[in-house]
Amino acid sequence: MKKITSRTIVCFFLALALVAGTGIFTVKFFMEGSTWSAFSANRHLYTNKVLNTGRILDETGQVLAEYDRTDNKWKYSNNSYIRKATLHTVGDSTGMIGTGALTRFADKLTGYNVITGAKPIFPGGRDLYLTLNADVCQTAYKALNGHRGTVGVYNYKTGEIICMVSTPTYDPASPPTIHDGDKTYDGVYMNRLLSATFIPGSTFKLITATAALEKIDGVENRTFHCSGKVMIGDQLITCPDAHGDLTLDQALAVSCNCVFGQLAAEIGSDQLAEYVKKAGLTGSLSINGIHTAKSTFDFTYGGKGGLAWSGIGQGKDLVNPCALMVYSGAIANGGSAAKPQIISHTAFEKGVRTSLYLKHSTKKLIEEDTASKLADMMRNNVINQYGQGNFPGLTICAKSGTAQSDHTDEDNAWFTGFLQDPDHPYAFIVLVEEGGSGSKVAGKVANTVLQAAVKSE
Ligand SMILES: [Zn+2]
């Protein structure tokens, strides 16, 4: 009897495992079936390991890549600037670009469905519409003017990425032979907006200012003094000139290192760590399943002096450009922003949509009241420091950065911010590696790209 009871229990658990296993498989089949089907060993969909179906288009319907069944290869835009500007978003047919749609969204191009699998009811692949505007990308690529760097522009209300350009790049229609150590193609396969981290320089003062506004009582009414240099811990922090007496707004506008170094030391390493986390910098964003690189910090390194350098965006800070763009979007949008997305929708060849665009939001990255104060301060930066005349017709709020890097001879130029414009709610990030001055060089790129983005609507 005992034997039968124990066998019954064993059988019961085996049956339970079978039911659970079937359940898990069924869920995975519905969730991931399209990805399994798009695996490169599937000969229905691949010719010589190259996906052989579908088209990729920008938001206006401009074709960026299309499989040519006569020549059995992918054909890209006729415009070589657009081919280079969209390389890191569209990808290449050999899969060298990890973030490219041809690799990451192969399942969207195949026309796969759960009923008939890889042999769809309606033949032909799908059209994958991206949120990008290829002409704005082209403008950004030209504005970077041969520098390494990245430009991102996105709608902080809807999440649509309008511009995503990463340089160096190449023409996917005629890929170059790249040798190890070739500086022209340094990091060419990497999408700098999504997959890289850089020293943020003074753009990080936005985070220090956020923490100061919330954690230091009366900081807005204080008058600081900058004599051009100050000892914090064992570190000498310097400004290019003595800024004299300053309010917090003025210190952000002139990007005073002495004031922001002191503020970081006063805020303390634990609280600054809390703020980079709350700002979403240390997490990873999922852009239609593509995970962005996490920003990294070490606020305990080098005591108070090290903390002061971190507070002004040097030290051990490494920030992902896309995360910083979203932070700017959250400042613009009352504390949280739409999550960036690159897929608009998929459609049959004849234009009938097969998917919807759904908006998703970040959690609260900044308190609403603080976001509003920061927005005013960033508007003040433009009016009193960068010059509204450099951004004709744009109600732009911004922060520049000029970051020193150990790996480069010249400084990296940054510019991030947003438009206060209900018809064009765009947040942006510009990084020009070895570009020099943030507001002059990266600010000029931002203006050129934003003018094109506003006109494109
Ligand atoms: Zn100063």
Do residues 281 and 323 make contact, with C-beta atoms less than 8 angstroms apart?
yes
Instruction: Calculate how far, in angstroms, residue 299's C-alpha sits from the geometric centre of ligand 1.
Output: 22
Distance CA 205, CA 211 (A): 10
Instruction: Calculate how far, in angstroms, residue 252's C-alpha sits from the geometric centre of ligand 1.
Output: 10
Instruction: Calculate how far, in angstroms, residue 221's C-alpha sits from the geometric centre of ligand 1.
Output: 18
Phi and psi angles of residue 59, each rounded to the nearest 5 degrees, phi first: -65, -20
Instruction: Calculate how far, in angstroms, residue 176's C-alpha sits from the geometric centre of ligand 1.
Output: 46
Distance CA 443, CA 261 (A): 24
- Count each helix (H run) and each strand (E run) in the chain, helices first: 15, 18
Q: Using CA of residue 213, residue 218, residue 220, residue 222, what is the dihedral sign?
A: negative
Per-residue pLDDT of the chain (457 residues; tens, 9 = 90+): 667 778 888 888 888 888 887 777 666 666 665 565 555 555 556 665 667 778 999 999 999 999 888 888 899 999 999 999 999 999 988 888 988 998 888 888 876 655 555 555 555 678 999 999 999 999 999 999 999 999 999 999 999 999 999 999 999 999 998 888 888 898 999 999 999 999 999 999 999 999 999 999 999 999 999 999 999 999 999 999 999 999 999 999 999 999 999 999 999 999 999 999 999 999 999 999 999 999 999 999 889 999 999 999 998 999 999 999 999 999 999 999 999 999 999 998 777 888 899 999 999 999 999 999 999 999 999 999 999 999 999 999 999 999 887 677 789 999 999 999 999 999 999 999 998 887 889 999 999 999 999 998 7
Instruction: Calculate how far, in angstroms, residue 250's C-alpha sits from the geometric centre of ligand 1.
Output: 10
Instruction: Calculate how far, in angstroms, residue 239's C-alpha sits from the geometric centre of ligand 1.
Output: 5
Instruction: Calculate how far, in angstroms, residue 302's C-alpha sits from the geometric centre of ligand 1.
Output: 22
Sequence-ordered list of residues with C-beta below 8 angstroms from that of 250, at least 6 positions apart, any chain:
243, 256, 384
Instruction: Round the CA-based radius of gyration of the chain to a whole number and report it.
Output: 25
Do residues 430 and 448 make contact, with C-beta atoms less than 8 angstroms apart?
no
Q: Report the candidate in 447, 425, 331 with the shortest Cα–Cα distance to residue 379.
A: 331
Distance CA 137, CA 152 (A): 9
Helix (H, G, I), strand (E, B) or coil at 151: strand
Q: Report the candidate in 393, 443, 448, 447 with the shortest Cα–Cα distance to residue 255.
A: 443
Kindly list the structural domains of the chain, giving each domain's residue range(s) and its CATH number in brackets, ordered by start.
Answer: 46-130 (3.90.1310.10), 139-341+359-456 (3.40.710.10)
C-alpha to C-alpha distances, 47 to 50, 121, 127, nearest whole angstrom: 5, 21, 19
Strands, sheet with 161-167, edge to edge from the N-terminal-most edge strand = 161-167, 149-155, 426-432, 412-419, 396-403
Instruction: Calculate how far, in angstroms, residue 383's C-alpha sits from the geometric centre of ligand 1.
Output: 19
Instruction: Calculate how far, in angstroms, residue 356's C-alpha sits from the geometric centre of ligand 1.
Output: 50
Write down the pLDDT at residue 226: 98
Instruction: Calculate how far, in angstroms, residue 396's C-alpha sits from the geometric centre of ligand 1.
Output: 24
Burial class of residue 43, CB neighbours in 10 A (0-12, 13-18, 19+): exposed
